[in-house]
Amino acid sequence: MENQNSGWFSGKRPWLIGGAVIAIVVILFFTLAYPPANQEDLQGTIGKAQKYRAGQITDKDIVLKKPEYQKIIQSDKFQKLLKVDKIQKIALDSRFQEVMKEAAFVELLKDQAFAELLKDQAFAELMKDQAFAELLKDQAFAELLKDQAFAELLKDQAFAELMKDQAFLALWKDQSYAELMKDQAYAELLKDHGYVELLKDQAFVELMKDQAFVELMKDQAFAELLKDQAFAELLKDQAFAELLKDQAFAELLKDQAFVELLKDQAFADLMKDQAFADLMKDQAFAELLKDQAFVELLKDQAFVEAMMNIQE
């Protein structure tokens, strides 16, 4: 027994010990000496100056207040914007300053989507525009900007994209539209989700540049109508858009009865019907629509019901 167990170097033990030693050496090497420290990259004996250095301040020690804003401020687009005289004048406008104090607007401005929007070249161009500048100073628009719902709208990625759209931006610069934006009813409408969706439609954007339509948009009843989902769909239709630009039809649209009719799903469907759309594009029918008598007829409840029944 004694012989069998005698000696550290008998049997497999030497291999085990040797292996362990090698393993320790390897571990120590990789732990302490590899990869080589930077100064080991240097050739020969490059003496490093001895300098006392205590623990230093780190970024965690520095308390800053909303440093993320700097990312926006530093951008070239934003800096260019600030050099525009009109922007500077807006900045000094007391009403606009009041808006800026509103918590909702402040929150909006912190929003990433809106921040991106501010950096956008197209939006920057918009900010330079005189009409838009005037709009920004308007009391009603200022109120709108304070509104939480509108703030949410502005933060909406889709809306942000829309804001970058050249056609839409051109609309904002349009004097007629600027007037509309100041309208209280329209301001309410802007907060409506359905309407926001509608705003993204190119045809509708074109329509909104029309003076008569702008007048129509200011109407309370029509504003209500615009919030209607079905009507919103209808508005996106090109033919209907053309019709809407007509003065007589616009007058018709202001009528309460006709507005009620338009809100009707069935009638709305009719309006969206291709055949009906074609009909509406027809010059003669268009002329008919402008006819006062026909319009009166359209307002007639019985006639309307009849039309709806026909469709059914």
Partner 1 sequence: MPESPFGFYTLFSHATVAYESPCLHIRTYFNKRLPSSTVKTMTVLSTRRLTVVALFLLIGFPLSSQVTTQETANHRLLIYDRGHEYLVPHLIMSYENALQFHKKLFQYTPTEKVTVLLQDFGDYGNGGATAVPKNLVSVGISPFHYAYETSPANERITALMNHELVHIVALDQSTKADRFWRSLFLGKPNPTKEDPLSMFYGYLATPRRFSPRWYHEGIATFLETWMAGGIGRAMGSYDEMVFRTAVRDGAYIYDVVGLESEGTTIDFMVKANSYLYGTRFMSYLAYHYEPESVVKWVSRTEGSSRYFSAQFENVFGKSLDDAWARWIQWERQWQRANLDSIRKYPVTTHRQLSERALGSVSRSFYDSSLGKIFAAINYPGQVAHVASIDIRTGKIDRIADVKGAALYYVCSAAYDPTTSSFFYTTDNNKWRDLNVVNVRTGETRMLIQDVRTGDLAFNRADKSLWGVRHLNGISSIVRIPPPYREWNRIYSLPYGKDMFDLDISPDGTILTGALAEIDGTQRLVKFDIAKLLKGDTSFEVLYDFEISSPATFAFSEDGRYVYGSTYYTGVSNIVRYDFQMKKIEWLTNTETGYFRPAPISKDSMIAFYFTGNGFVPVSIAIQPIEDVSAINFLGQAIVEKRPVVMSWHLKPPTLKEFNPDSLVIFSGAYNPTRYFQLMSGYPIVEGYKDFAAFGFRLNFSDYLLLNELVLTGSYTPNQLLPKNERWHASARFKYWRWNFKATYNWADFYDLFGPTKVGRKGYSLGVQYREYLVFDEPKLMDYSFSLTKFGGLERLPEAQNITVSFDNFWSLSGKLSYQYTMRSLGSIEDEKGVRWQLLGYNNYVNGKHFARALGNFDYGILLPIHHSSIWFRTSAGYSLGERREPLANFYFGGFGNNWVDYQDARRFREYYSFPGVDLNAIGGTNYTKALIEWTLPPLRFRRLGFTFLYSNWTQLMLFSSGIAVNLDDDAVRRTYLNAGAQLDFKLVIFSTLESTFSIGYARAAERNHRFTDEFMVSLKLLK
Give the residues lining the site for partner 1 (CB under 8 A): 38, 41-59, 61-67, 69-76, 78-83, 87-92, 96-97, 100-101, 105-106, 108-110, 118, 127
Hey, what are 208's tokens?
Answer: 């909104």
**Closest to partner 1 by CB, 92 or 302:** 92
* DSSP-derived secondary structure letter, 48: P
Query: Rounded CA gap, 40 and 38, in Å?
Result: 5
The secondary structure of residue 75, as a DSSP letter, is S
Nearest approach, Cβ of residue 142 and partner 1 (Å): 12
- Cα 141 from Cα 36, distance rounded (Å): 65
Helices (H), 191-255: 193-199, 202-208, 211-217, 220-226, 229-235, 238-244, 247-254
**Closest to partner 1 by CB, 16 or 91:** 91
Among 216, 247, 212, CA closest to 231: 216
Please say which residue, 88 or 166, places its beta carbon nearer to partner 1.
Answer: 88
- Of residues 105 and 186, the one with the C-beta less far from partner 1: 105
Closer to partner 1 by CB, 81 or 225: give it.
81
The CA-atom distances, in angstroms, between 87 and each of 34, 95, 118, 146, 200 are: 59, 14, 13, 19, 26
How far is it, in rounded angstroms, from Cα 191 to Cα 155? 12
Closest distance of CB 80 from partner 1, Å: 8
By beta-carbon proximity to partner 1, the closer residue of 5 and 36 is 36
Tokens of 296: 């009166």
How far is CA 239 from its chain centroid? Answer: 28
Reply yes or no: is the peptide bond before residue 67 cis, omega within 30 of 0.
no
Give yes or no for a contact between 203 and 236, defined as CB atoms under 8 angstroms apart.
yes
Report the residue number, 13 or 110, with the smaller CB distance to partner 1. Answer: 110
Question: Whole-number minimum distance, CB 175 to partner 1, in Å?
Answer: 23
